Amino acid sequence: MSSSSSSSSSSDFSVDDLVRPNIRALTPYRCARDDYNTGVLLDANENAYGPVYLRANQSARAPSKEQGYHRYPDPLNNDVKALYTAWRGLPGPEWAFFGVGSDEAIDLVMRVFGVPGKHKVLICPPTYGMYSVAAAVNDLGVVKVPLDVENARFQLRVDAILEATRADPDIRIMFLCSPGNPTGTCLAKSDIRRLLESDYRGIVVVDEAYVDFVDDDEEKGSVIRWTERYPNLIVMQTLSKSFGLAAIRLGIAAASPRIIHWMNVTKAPYNIPAPTAALAYAALSSTGLESVQSVVRQLRAERKRLTDGLLALPGVLSVFGNADANFLLCQIGDAQGQGQPDSARAERIYRWMADSGVVVRYRGNEYGCAGCLRISVGTPEESDAVLAQLSKALADEKLAR
Ligand SMILES: Cc1ncc(COP(=O)(O)O)c(C=O)c1O
């Protein structure tokens, strides 16, 4: 990380000043379990008989009373966070927030820092759709500074972003997605650093949902450890992608302990269910992490095979994504073969493929993604199915126009 002189240093930055006044004044919910969690526990109006329905319907999947599912779960899960932060090279559990997926963390950052009807978020299309949805729910305006999409570069336009933040001091939070969804492309770390070291005095969120799929490269990998240097940086990650645990809903926001404090006091007291925490704890064990690495290696190899297979199909103009995520952006060309992206054809192909049992995502209506289908990298059999169906669709006259 650069140690060059910066206009945003930790000494002149107070996160507390950015927190909404009503959150700053909040008396957080406290439970007796915050202080005492062993002994005869009659403080939380639980059912001491255990999971009653499950007792009456014993099956292999039914949890027993010993698993404690009749008790409210740990509000903070510091044991699980300690595993996570140690793995990511952060000082300790107070540097992590756990949410019900990153989606909860995205919403919560808006609730903590954005005054409804006043503040705004800045996003860089094409990007993850939930930033705008969460902004609408929280009554925050959205300022869009599109990525540089020329030649599918999909990079930040740093000067334009800074122009926007200088013109509008109500921009409180910016969301940068790296690797991007749907672009599948990492943002240059030097650009993220320029924003963090600029005169912008709001929150910078870097959403790294797909970061584990990035090939090892100093200029591309995670910026999670930069949270130790930049007090306004929040890095979001998730167990939904590389860990294959989308159903347990566990998202992570890493940031300076002051930001984590404000997120914790604002969240619902018991937001992470005990089964989720138990599964996450197991997934973060050394054997769990080794398995993640091994599957990520497989998916990266499959990504290469799928890319080559797609590029070999007549009618596929390009495959974007620079191999940074577990999906590819496949651009469909016009049926006349003039080398023009054809969104209408891509959409017809998408529907036909879905009806025939292979579901990908049509993204041709996103800025800079004309003619594009977003295709997740799955198993080799699934890639074969995509290639077979897409090949048929591209040869089908009825889908051509
Ligand atoms: C960029 C990005 N961020 C966040 C999420 C949401 O992740 P989670 O499952 O942790 O809510 C997604 C899901 O697709 C995503 O693409």
Domains of the chain, each with CATH number or no CATH? 10-31+72-284 (3.40.640.10), 289-400 (3.90.1150.10)
pLDDT digits (tens, 9 = 90+) for 166-212: 999 999 999 999 999 999 999 999 999 999 999 999 999 999 999 99
- The region of weakest confidence among 205-219, 247-261, 350-364 is 205-219
Alpha-helix residue ranges (DSSP H) falling in 57-152: 78-88, 101-113, 130-137
pLDDT digits (tens, 9 = 90+) for 130-155: 999 999 999 999 999 999 999 999 99
**Looking at ligand 1, which atom is closest to the CA of residue 251?**
10
CA–CA dist 275, 71 (Å, integer):
12
- For residue 102, the CA-to-ligand 1 centroid distance in Å is 6
62 pLDDT above the threshold of 90: no
Q: Are 144 and 92 in contact (CB under 8 A)?
A: no
CB atoms within 10 A of CB 304: 12
Q: Which of 84, 97, 102, 374 to mutate to test the pocket of ligand 1 (most atoms within 8 A of CB)?
A: 102
Q: What is the pLDDT of residue 103?
A: 97
Q: Which of 100, 128, 329 to mutate to test the pocket of ligand 1 (most atoms within 8 A of CB)?
A: 128
Residue whose CA is at the smallest distance from ligand 1 atom 16: 181
DSSP string, 200-219: --SEEEEE-TTGGGSPS-TT
Q: Which two tokens stand for residue 82?
A: 């300690």
- For residue 320, the CA-to-ligand 1 centroid distance in Å is 20
- For residue 47, the CA-to-ligand 1 centroid distance in Å is 35
374 pLDDT above the threshold of 80: yes
308 pLDDT above the threshold of 90: yes
Q: What is the pLDDT of residue 216?
A: 74
- For residue 264, the CA-to-ligand 1 centroid distance in Å is 20
CA–CA dist 353, 358 (Å, integer):
5
* Mean pLDDT across the chain: 93
- What proportion of the chain, given as a percentage, has pLDDT over 90? 83
Q: What is the pLDDT of residue 2?
A: 37
225 pLDDT above the threshold of 90: yes
* 370-374: average pLDDT: 97
- For residue 244, the CA-to-ligand 1 centroid distance in Å is 12
Q: What is the pLDDT of residue 118?
A: 98
- For residue 356, the CA-to-ligand 1 centroid distance in Å is 27
Residue whose CA is at the smallest distance from ligand 1 atom 13: 209
pLDDT digits (tens, 9 = 90+) for 121-135: 999 999 999 999 999
Question: Which carries the bigger pLDDT value, residue 11 or residue 205?
Answer: 205
Tell me which residues have their CB closer than 6 angstroms to ligand 1: 101-103, 128, 177, 181, 207, 209, 238, 240, 246, 251
Q: Are 322 and 186 in contact (CB under 8 A)?
A: yes
What's the gap between Cα 207 and its chain centre?
A: 5
Q: Which residue type sits at 388?
A: A
Residue whose CA is at the smallest distance from ligand 1 atom 11: 101
8 pLDDT above the threshold of 60: no
What's the gap between Cα 289 and its chain centre?
A: 19
CA–CA dist 71, 232 (Å, integer):
36
Q: What is the pLDDT of residue 3?
A: 35
CA–CA dist 199, 209 (Å, integer):
27
271 pLDDT above the threshold of 80: yes
**Looking at ligand 1, which atom is closest to the CA of residue 128?**
1
Banded model confidence at residue 58, pLDDT cuts 50, 70, 90? low
Q: Which of 187, 238, 326, 329 to mutate to test the pocket of ligand 1 (most atoms within 8 A of CB)?
A: 238
265 pLDDT above the threshold of 90: yes
Q: What is the pLDDT of residue 32?
A: 74
Residue whose CA is at the smallest distance from ligand 1 atom 2: 209
Four-CA torsion 101, 18, 147, 187, nearest 10 degrees: -60
4 pLDDT above the threshold of 80: no
Q: What is the pLDDT of residue 30?
A: 84
Q: What is the pLDDT of residue 6?
A: 42
7 pLDDT above the threshold of 70: no
Please confirm whether the linkage preceding 182 is cis (ω < 30° from 0): yes
**Looking at ligand 1, which atom is closest to the CA of residue 240?**
9
Residue whose CA is at the smallest distance from ligand 1 atom 7: 102
Banded model confidence at residue 69, pLDDT cuts 50, 70, 90? confident
Q: Are 112 and 142 in contact (CB under 8 A)?
A: no
CA–CA dist 100, 276 (Å, integer):
9
Q: Which residues contact 24 (CB under 8 A, 6 or more apart)?
A: 16
Which one-letter DSSP state was computed for residue 230? -
Q: What is the pLDDT of residue 49?
A: 84
* 64-77: average pLDDT: 85
CA–CA dist 330, 22 (Å, integer):
46
Q: What is the pLDDT of residue 12?
A: 66
- For residue 86, the CA-to-ligand 1 centroid distance in Å is 22
Banded model confidence at residue 60, pLDDT cuts 50, 70, 90? low
CA–CA dist 320, 330 (Å, integer):
6
- For residue 319, the CA-to-ligand 1 centroid distance in Å is 22
Q: What is the pLDDT of residue 314?
A: 94
- For residue 129, the CA-to-ligand 1 centroid distance in Å is 10
- For residue 111, the CA-to-ligand 1 centroid distance in Å is 18
Q: What is the pLDDT of residue 5?
A: 37
Q: What is the pLDDT of residue 55?
A: 63
